[in-house]
């Protein structure tokens, strides 16, 4: 069985796969990671694993888990099932590499736009001939709330809410409207722009804020919360195939 460890900016995700079948998924804080890791390796017979990290895991913790499972670390130097046309592959986030691999696996011979709505919102484009051409990065939901608070004198720090009106009648309502509808119009605009170039474009929305944002997007979008994990598992299988 495969163990996937996805180290994000805020939390860590662990997933167990039997080939392409997801058996278990857990999302934990950095503090709770080792305990959950020990629980999973005691529950399953783990043969191999992969670590993807855009966060900061303590070296002692990384050394510990490496003694328990034979982990592959995701970098741009691994083998990938697509042609990478990014001009600076060494700076491309490993999470974006995994998302493109998931697109290759699930949508062969399709033009795909993958949108990952996490701490940042990333946009990645895979063409039907399996070429990754790049994309975009913008601030995510919580980053926008935090920026309004940190970079102004009087605006409050808010958390996202499901009760949002396009016309705010208080300062709090106006912030919610600006953040939420600003992101929705950004996503719809980028999707529409790519659809003028790729008529048969498949659009995937994933990440922690995918469900929150998907309710008011105008374009046809598939929501898949496990897309990154699927990509990581595919990379592990692709690089260890006999």
Please list the active-site residues: 95
The DSSP 8-state label assigned to residue 155 in this structure reads: P
Q: Give me the sign of the Cα torsion angle 144, 145, 146, 151.
A: positive
Distance CA 67, CA 19 (A): 23
Strands 120-126 and 131-139: antiparallel
Of 105, 106, 95, 107, nearest in space to 135 by CA: 95
Query: How many CA within 13 A on the CB side of residue 237?
Result: 18
Distance CA 19, CA 79 (A): 18
CB 188 within 8 A of CB 219: yes
What beta strand segments (E) does 19-58 contain?
Answer: 21-28, 48-53
Distance CA 185, CA 182 (A): 5
What 3-state class would DSSP assign to 75? Answer: coil
Of 150, 114, 148, nearest in space to 134 by CA: 114
Q: How far is CA 219 from the centre of its chain?
A: 20
């Amino acid at each position: 069985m495969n163990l996937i460890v996805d180290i994000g900016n805020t939390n860590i995700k662990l997933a167990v796969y039997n080939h392409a079948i997801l058996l278990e998924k857990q999302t934990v804080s950095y503090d709770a990671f080792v305990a959950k890791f020990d629980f999973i390796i005691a529950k399953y017979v783990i043969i191999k694993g992969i670590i993807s990290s855009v966060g900061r895991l303590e070296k002692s913790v990384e050394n510990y888990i490496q003694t328990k499972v034979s982990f592959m670390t995701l970098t741009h130097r691994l083998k990938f099932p697509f042609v990478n046309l990014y001009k600076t592959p060494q700076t491309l986030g490993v999470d974006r590499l995994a998302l493109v691999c998931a697109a290759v696996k699930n949508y062969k011979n399709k033009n795909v736009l993958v949108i990952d709505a996490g701490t940042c919102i990333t946009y990645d484009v895979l063409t039907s001939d399996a070429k990754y051409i790049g994309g975009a990065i913008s601030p995510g939901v919580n980053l926008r709330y935090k920026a309004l608070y940190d970079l102004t004198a009087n605006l409050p720090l808010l958390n996202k809410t499901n009760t949002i009106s396009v016309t705010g009648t208080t300062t709090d309502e106006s912030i919610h409207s600006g953040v939420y509808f600003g992101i929705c119009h950004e996503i719809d605009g980028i999707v529409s722009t790519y659809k003028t170039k790729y008529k048969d474009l498949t659009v995937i929305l994933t990440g922690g804020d995918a469900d929150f944002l998907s309710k008011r997007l105008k374009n046809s979008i598939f929501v898949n919360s496990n897309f990154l994990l699927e990509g990581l598992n595919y990379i592990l299988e692709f690089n260890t195939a006999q």
